[in-house]
Amino acid sequence: MDSKLQSNKRQMIVLLFPGLLIFGVFTIYPIAKLFLMSFFQWDFGSMLDQEFIGFSNYKDVLSDSFFWMTFANTLAYTFITVPAQMLLGLLVAVLIHEIKRLQVFFRVMHYLPVITSWVIVSLVFRYIFNTEGLLNYFLNNTLNVVDGNIRWLDSRWSALSVAMLLGIWKGVGWNMVIFLAALQQVPSDLYEAAEIDGCNAFLRFFTITLPSIRGTILFAWIMLTIGGFNVFTSIKMITGGGPAHQTDTMLTWMYYKAFSTGKLGYSASLSFMMALTLGLLAFFQFKAMKDKDMEAKNLK
Amino acid sequence: MKKTPTKQTVILNLLLTFSTLVSILPMVYMLSTALRPNGALYEFPPRFFPSLDAITLENFSFVLFQSTFYLNFLNSVFVSVVSVALAAIVSAALGFILGKFNFKGKKILFALIIVTMIIPGTTLIVPQFELAFKLGAVNKLPWLIPFYVAWVIPFSTFMIKGFMEGIPNEILDAAFIDGADIFTIFFRIALPLASPAIASVSIFNFLTAWEEYPWANTVINDNNLRTLPIAIAGFFGQHQFTQWGYVFAMSTISLIPILLVFIFFQKYFVTGLSAGSVKG
């Protein structure tokens, strides 16, 4: 840019100001406050009168068996839904990429679950998996494979499985769209050369397609991991965390502690640990991919 | 001459048809439940489609004319539209300055904005509630807006900045020589040129605001001030999980604006999504 234009600092500041003000007050301040609150005895009843208690909240969280249960639930949710969504999304993307007609139609149809709100799809899944619902009727009376109605939502792992199934079902479309965009960027002469060399479709996928879309895989992996840890609304709607908090995830548990028992300090330290862990995780995910990149370049 | 489809094409289309059915059947079931009488809690035997003579619009007419649902709909329209507009203008300004100018601390500022994308929004709900409490923002509809805008600023700024960087400096310099200042260049040149990027992030911002549940559910208590997701969830909980017909009629209506936005702005949303990912 021209240096004289550059020198008009006042107008630059005026343009930056509104965005930075909103971002600072409603995002940066809460992040700082979260960190501070995690060291205080901060209860709902005494919003104005808090006592510094060091790492007590952290100790409370880490010695709480309920926390570890919700941690295990969140981890299971993330480890199962993230790869499943990516694999299915990639599969659908490859299928759509290979056909010539109706690409737009199939893309829109698969994207429908993504744009339907979490509240709605969670209620639909709850309705389908209800003890007197459609699925049990289908299994019981149409297929005759089970005897009596299964209480899907009344025990820990079957209820969590319903939430996971919902997470996978809702996420496939997002993966499909970004993988499809990546597939369309792969230069077609690479495939032509490989074909001449006698590579079959299977080999071409693993030697050309996958390495070419590595950046997109990383992007999806990081975004979905964050999303997996963020699971909240579906659990609230499908089980409400029950029975006896067995299906709570870290965030629904944090929310319960804050807004039902009033332990804001406890929740703040839980949230802070979670945000920090995710930050580090994303950092290492990036690093792992970057290192692989370097390796690949060195080999060449 | 028409080419007969190859065996491979047939298999691909069959697989895609199957996965399409899996994708849309829950929504079809939602609609079909909304179209049958609300009374029957769980029909026995349950049917996927209502029989033709049982189809009724009574759930829709109740939801639209006899409940306060229309208020919730208007609340959502208000909050979402204002949030999207505000986010578009402030993020475009951020993206323009960060993408086209050099100043001290620019890299750190941009990194600070970007790094917050890693933090799941809901982890900030406790300090944000404390902030809302201090600001007197609890149970006030317009106060949802700055929270939503702050939420979407990082991704929007990131996308728009990338687009702004692609605008040739010559265009801006030429305008400067003609006597334009930064404001004029931003509003008259950069903003219109960046409109595809702004449109694509706006679609996502609209979806974010339209479907947001945890925060609105935390700060809004008054039924007349509720946005759609918390109105639907609240109605569901309040009626002891029995009024499925009404719940799914509300759900269907709340899905319509989103569908319209995505159908009309198809081309923008695909470019938007892929631009962010392929760079990665």
CB atoms within 10 A of CB A125: 24
Rounded Cα distance, A36 and A43, in Å: 14
pLDDT band at A4 (very low <50, low <70, confident <90, very high): low
DSSP A201-235: HHHHIIIIIHHHTHHHHHHHHHHHHHHHHT--HHH
Average pLDDT over residues A255-280: 92
pLDDT of residue A286 exceeding 80, the answer is no
- With a pLDDT cut of 70, the percent of chain A lying above it is 93
A104 contacts B22? CB cut-off 8 A: no
B31 touches A at CB < 8 Å: no
pLDDT exceeds 80 at position A42: yes
Mapping DSSP to helix (H, G, I), strand (E, B) and coil, where does residue B51 land? coil
The whole-angstrom separation of Cα A82 and Cα A86 is 6
Domain boundaries, chain B: 62-279
Distance of CA B145 to the CA centre of its chain: 13
Q: Is the bond leading into B45 cis (omega within 30 degrees of zero)?
A: yes
Of the candidates B84, B86, B75, the one whose C-alpha atom is nearest the C-alpha of residue B207 is: B84
Quickly name the fold that domain B62-279 has. Answer: MetI-like fold (1.10.3720)
| Annotated domain spans of chain A | 59-299
Q: Which residue has the tokens 């703040």?
A: A268
Say if the Cβ atoms of A108 and B16 lie within 8 Å: no
- Categorise residue A198: left if φ over 0, alpha if ψ from -120 to 50, beta otherwise: left
ipTM of the complex, rounded to two decimals:
0.89
Question: Nearest C-alpha of chain A: how many angstroms from B101?
Answer: 7
- Taking CB atoms and an 8 Å cutoff, what residues of chain A touch B125? 255, 258, 271
**B residues 9..28 contacting A (CB < 8 A):** 9, 12-13, 15-16, 19-20, 22-24, 26-27
B chain contacts of residue A111, beta-carbon cutoff 8 Å: 262
Tell me, what's the pLDDT at B280? 33
Q: Which of A18, A107, A219 sits opposite B93 (nearest CB)?
A: A18
What's the pLDDT score for residue A248?
Answer: 96
Which residues are CB-neighbours of A246 under 8 A, at least 6 positions away? A69, A155, A156, A159
Residue B58's contacts (CB-CB under 8 Å, 6 or more residues apart) are B37, B38, B245
- The fold of the A59-299 domain, in CATH, is MetI-like fold (1.10.3720)
**DSSP secondary structure, B243-264, as one string:** -HHHHHHHHHHHHHHHHHHHHH
Nearest to A57 by CA among A259, A276, A269, A274: A269
Which pLDDT band, with edges at 50, 70 and 90, does A215 fall under? Answer: confident
Enter the tokens of residue A156. Answer: 């820990």
In this prediction, residue B107 carries a pLDDT of 92
What pLDDT does B54 receive?
75
Using alpha carbons, list the distances in angstroms from residue B89 to A11, A117, B201. Answer: 15, 25, 12
Distance from CA of A92 to the nearest CA of B (A): 7
Number of other residues whose CB lies within 10 A of the CB of residue B18: 10
Q: Which pTM does this prediction carry?
A: 0.90
Q: Taking residues A156-177, what's their average pLDDT? A: 95
Residue A2 or residue A276, greater confidence: A276
Q: What is the pLDDT of residue A46?
A: 65
Q: What is the mean pLDDT of residues A232-250?
A: 93
**For residues A212-217, average pLDDT:** 89
The residue in chain A having the minimum alpha-carbon distance to the alpha carbon of residue B206 is A115
pLDDT, tens digit, 9 for 90 and up, residues A48-104: 678 888 899 999 999 999 999 999 999 999 999 999 999 999 999 999 998 888 888
The conformational region for residue A240 under phi > 0 = left, psi -120 to 50 = alpha, else beta, is: left
pLDDT value, residue B277: 47
Instruction: Give residue B272's pLDDT.
Output: 58
Per-residue pLDDT, A300? 46
Question: What is the structure's pLDDT at A237?
Answer: 94
Q: Which residues of A touch B259 (CB under 8 A)?
A: 115
More confident residue, A279 or A1: A279
Q: Tens place of pLDDT for every residue, chain B, 280 residues?
A: 455 668 888 999 999 999 999 999 999 999 998 998 876 555 666 677 777 777 888 899 998 988 889 999 999 999 999 999 999 999 999 999 999 998 889 999 999 998 898 888 899 999 999 999 999 999 999 999 999 999 999 999 999 999 999 989 888 888 888 888 899 999 999 999 999 899 989 999 999 999 999 999 999 999 999 999 999 999 988 876 678 889 999 999 999 999 998 888 877 766 655 554 444 3
Task: Tell me the per-residue pLDDT of A217-226, one tens digit each, with 9 for 90 and over.
Answer: 988 998 899 9
Instruction: Calculate how close chain B gets to A230, using CA atoms only, in Å.
Output: 6
How far apart, in whole angstroms, are the C-alpha atoms of residue A111 and residue A88?
A: 13
Mean pLDDT (chain A) is 88
